[in-house]
């Protein structure tokens, strides 16, 4: 495993649509392992392949407090959302920045695991936010395009 360089700011790879994964092989497994190690090293709860310069539809997520619930998702898609939650959001590609983003409170993601087997994962709260955030990266969207004033800031206007 290796820690990869996280692309930041205006890196072109952060704004491009990623291509689907077709091969489930050692190259993919190495990418997944490296992405997990990179995410944990950076103290993040999610990382998408474009953030390490790879334009493929691959994400890793772990929102657990004890860091032992790693989700590896290949070609993920959000198939269901429900409710609404607003909160501060950040991104490893925009260090030391945050913004208030409203997203669904519940999300269900369908994806393939490292062996090409289909699975679904339901997330609420932070996990739903992370699934949506990372899937956005695969479509070249960054959270900063979704930032709105916080409820307190809106009251001031």
Determine which one of 72, 120, 134, 156 is catalytic: 134
Q: What share of the chain is helix, strand, coil (3-state, %, to 5)?
A: 30, 30, 40
Task: Give the distance, in angstroms, between the CA of residue 5 and the centroid of all CA atoms in the same chain.
Answer: 16
Task: Please give the structure tokens belonging to residue 148.
Answer: 């709105």
- Please indicate whether residue 124 is annotated as part of the active site: no
How far is Cα 51 from Cα 53, in angstroms, rounded to an integer? 5
Contact 62, 45 (CB under 8 A): yes
Residues with a known catalytic role: 134
């Amino acid at each position: 495993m290796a820690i990869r360089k996280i692309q930041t700011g205006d890196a072109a790879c952060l704004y491009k649509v990623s291509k689907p994964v077709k091969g489930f092989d050692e190259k993919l497994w190495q990418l997944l392992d490296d992405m997990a190690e990179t995410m944990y090293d950076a103290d993040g709860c999610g990382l998408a392949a474009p953030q390490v310069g790879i334009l493929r539809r691959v994400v890793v997520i772990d929102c657990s407090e004890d860091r032992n619930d790693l989700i590896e998702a290949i070609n993920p898609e959000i198939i269901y959302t429900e409710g609404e939650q607003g909160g501060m959001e950040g991104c490893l590609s925009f260090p030391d920045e945050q913004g208030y983003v409203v997203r669904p409170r519940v999300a269900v993601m369908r994806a393939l695991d490292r062996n090409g087997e289909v699975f679904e994962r339901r997330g609420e709260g932070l996990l739903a936010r992370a699934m949506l955030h990372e899937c956005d990266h695969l479509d070249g969207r960054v959270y900063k395009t979704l930032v709105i004033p916080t409820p307190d800031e809106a009251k001031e206007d």
